[in-house]
Amino acid sequence: MLRSLLDHPLLRQARAAGERQVGRVLSPEVAGAALQALLSAAGEARERIDRVARAALDAAQVPSSRDLDELKRRLVEMEELLDGLSTRLARAEAREGDDEDKDRDEGEDETEEGQGGAAG
């Protein structure tokens, strides 16, 4: 009896129609479109959450990761600037030291010439 019920033409048609509908829902095109829509919605939700989190951090006066990245960038720029100034200062000090050595050497030469002339 169950066998005859399962073999009934109307039940077979209903089962075949159901299988076709499931096949359409699970088709690659439909599944791909649904997955794409899901990923798009998830991306938009993440962006909204990020905006809300940044606003909450700003309200609490807590720096965000973007703020910290900007601070790091500025610190790198300042470090490069200080390195450049340090190099320039070292060069200027080296030139000044060379000038003092030259002045001292010239002063010694003049003193030796003055002593040499007085002895002769």
How many domains does one find in the chain?
1
Residue of higher predicted confidence among 119 and 58: 58
pLDDT at residue 76 tops 70: yes
- What average pLDDT does this structure show over 76-84? 97
Quote the tokens at residue 35. Answer: 């997955």
Question: Does 20 reside within a domain?
Answer: no
Residue position matching structure tokens 């601070």: 71
Q: Which residue has the tokens 């200062």?
A: 89
Residue 46 pLDDT exceeds 90: yes
Contact status, residue 73 vs residue 85, Cβ threshold 8 Å? no
> Average pLDDT in the 10-39 region?
81
Look at residue 63 and tell me whether its pLDDT is greater than 90. Answer: no
Report yes or no on 81 lying in a domain: yes
Identify the pLDDT of residue 120: 46
104, part of any domain: yes
Structure-token pair, residue 22: 């499931």
CA distance 48 to 41: 11
Is 89 inside any structural domain? yes
82-90: long-range contacts, CB 8 A cutoff, minimum separation 24: none
Mean pLDDT, the chain, integer: 82
Does residue 24 belong to any structural domain of this protein?
no
Could you tell me if residue 56 is inside a domain?
A: no
Q: Is residue 1 part of a domain?
A: no
pLDDT at 116: 58
Encoded amino acid at 12, one letter:
R
- Count of CB atoms situated within 10 Å of the CB of 54: 14
Residue 10 lies in a domain: no
Span 20-28, average pLDDT: 74
- Residue 84: which domain range? 66-108
